[in-house]
Structure 1
Amino acid sequence: MNGTQLNGATLSALLGNGDTAQLRVDDVAALADGNNDVLAYAVSISTDAGWQPLCGYESDGSVRQALAVAGSWNYQTGAWSESTDEFTFACRHASIAKCVELGYKSSIGFGDHQHACVRMLRADYCGDGVSHTVNGTPINLYDAVGVQLDSESWPVDAEWTPDGALCLYHHRGGSQPSCYAEKYSATCGSFAGGALLIDEYDGQ
């Protein structure tokens, strides 16, 4: 089953802590705002208190949806694994779903950009699953394929690949990444070395 065929289906899921759970797809609808090729799912999880929304609720009280994204992510390392029989329900407003909605869709050939984007949004500089992001920090991200364009002239944060930062110039705050000395470069901020994404942050 896929797409709208999942509506009403009950699925067995592996959670981040290694436990399994039953999920139920309650509704399927296409996104709007230029992403109408992406389906969003209202998903419930079976708990001791009955069926509850997997992703919680939006501020208006509606059920927060999830996107079905190919493959799976390791919750400890942040690494993505390809699979023909597994997919990830990624809650909207979190990093994986955000990257899909930014235009990095594996279905149209941007899988590697998607995985680099997830590392970038999480500020997982070292590619070890450790996030250094600081809530509320504005960032500007762009690529060399025209999906996201450079719209600011802020200081460069880092160049990104699916394995983490290729190099970094600044970091967004919080604790200094353990790989900072190894990856620091005063010339960071070019696609010449094979980076897929570059991000900048408003350091003011």
Structure 2
Amino acid sequence: MMIGMYALAAGAGCEPGGSEPARAGDPPSLVRPAGFEIIVTNGSSINGPLVNGGARAGTEVYGLGVTGSTADGSAVLGIRLQGSDLTSVRVSDGAVLSGASLVGAVFATQAPGGAPIDLRIDTVSASPSRYHAGSAVSRYTLSYRQGVSGLWRPVCGEVMGVPAAVIPLASRWSYDEGTAGGGAKLAEPDWITFACAGHALHKCAELGYEPWTTAGGAPLGDHHQACVRAYRADYCGDGSPHTTSGQLINLFDDLGVQTDTETWLLESEWDADGARCLSRPRMTGGVVPDCAAGLPVCHGTIGWGDTLVVTEAP
């Protein structure tokens, strides 16, 4: 399937709130929150936005032991995932709440750096998966409140004045770049990452690589991670992106989630750790990045099995 996107992130040290004037090159639909910038596309950002000097406020939460209260004042304990559906236990009777029952609920949690924040569930919608019978995708809008201002801000910023949606995913990801383990999915299943629309984690779930389900009997967690690497052109598996705004790619797999729709030239084969081979880097003028110099050239026969997704570039 051919894809091409833009992503949002905020400048380091900027405090979001209000909006900035449009800039040259902005998509006409974009409302730019104060301090936010367009960054390179095709998922060069794993997740976002970045606020307050780089902390992803509210985009990750340790679900065990988190306390909160629902809109009607009922105390709730913990946040867990069933697929992409958030659940929490009502303390008074042990009932498991989910969906609309959690709209308006506020949870006391922490930003990744340890600062306390409040996280609020503002809206929820669920729809059947476009790709997998019996699977559903839940999308939320969330707000966070941090510090003494008392102001609620959307976790993922806004587009056209509307808070961007999230898809909750189990575990956490490394946001490091250029280091061993950069961009990796961490083995921390009790954490929940809120994948922001327009970024690689969210986009790959939208493409059908729903990590909570299966295709052809195969769990899709590794396919989702391979898609994230491919979407960002993270050839070296160190978290460094090698793509830019407006770049098109054709991405497909052998499970039928995404099919080969173009006759473009092969770029790379991918697994969860990065590129397995590299034929023509999409945005480096044909020059292989230094970190990828040791990768073999891709050949005509795709190594399905070890290879999870394939990309082509025009």
- Pairwise TM-score range, normalised by the shorter structure: 0.7 to 0.9
What SS does structure 2 have at the residue aligned with 1:148?
A: coil
Among 270, 275, 279, the alignment partner of 1:169 is 279
Counterpart of 1:57, as a letter, is E
Which 5+ residue runs of structure 2 have no aligned equivalent?
1-78, 80-86, 88-97, 177-181, 214-218
User: Residues 123-164 of structure 1: CA distance to partner in whole angstroms, max 9, x if unpaired?
Assistant: 110000111111101110000111000000111111001100
Among 110, 116, 126, the alignment partner of 1:30 is 126
Distance in 1 between residues matched to 2:137 and 2:205, nearest whole Å: 9
Structure 2 residue 142 is matched with structure 1 residue 43: yes
Aligned residues: 199
Distance in 2 between residues matched to 1:161 and 1:136, nearest whole Å: 24
Runs of 4+ aligned residues of structure 1 deviating over 6 Å after TM superposition are none
CA contact (8 A) 1:169 1:188 kept: no
Counterpart of 1:149, as a letter, is T
CA contact (8 A) 2:156 2:165 kept: yes
Among 171, 175, 182, the alignment partner of 1:75 is 175
Structure 2 residue 237 is matched with structure 1 residue 140: no
Structure 2 residue 250 is matched with structure 1 residue 154: no
Q: 1:201 to 1:189 in 2, by over 3 A?
A: farther
1:111 corresponds in structure 2 to 221
In angstroms, what is the RMSD of aligned CA positions? 2.2
What SS does structure 1 have at the residue aligned with 2:267?
A: strand
Relative contact order (alpha carbons < 8 A, sep ≥ 6): 1 or 2 greater? 2
User: Residues 45-71 of structure 1: CA distance to partner in whole angstroms, max 9, x if unpaired?
Assistant: 224541111111123x21111110111
- Larger Rg, first or second structure (1 or 2): 2
Distance in 2 between residues matched to 1:189 and 1:87, nearest whole Å: 38
Counterpart of 1:179, as a letter, is C
Counterpart of 1:45, as a letter, is Y
Distance in 1 between residues matched to 2:246 and 2:128, nearest whole Å: 25
- Residue identity over aligned pairs, in percent, reads 37
Counterpart of 2:139, as a letter, is A
Distance in 1 between residues matched to 2:200 and 2:293, nearest whole Å: 26
> How far is 1:181 from its partner?
1.9
Q: 1:128 to 1:149 in 2, by over 3 A?
A: same
Distance in 1 between residues matched to 2:289 and 2:118, nearest whole Å: 37
Which 5+ residue runs of structure 1 have no aligned equivalent?
none
Distance in 2 between residues matched to 1:116 and 1:188, nearest whole Å: 20
2:200 corresponds in structure 1 to 95
Distance in 1 between residues matched to 2:240 and 2:300, nearest whole Å: 21
Q: Which has the higher helix share?
A: 1
Counterpart of 2:292, as a letter, is Y
Counterpart of 2:257, as a letter, is V
1:64 corresponds in structure 2 to 164
What SS does structure 2 have at the residue aligned with 1:96?
A: helix
What SS does structure 2 have at the residue aligned with 1:179?
A: helix
Counterpart of 2:173, as a letter, is W
Counterpart of 1:114, as a letter, is H
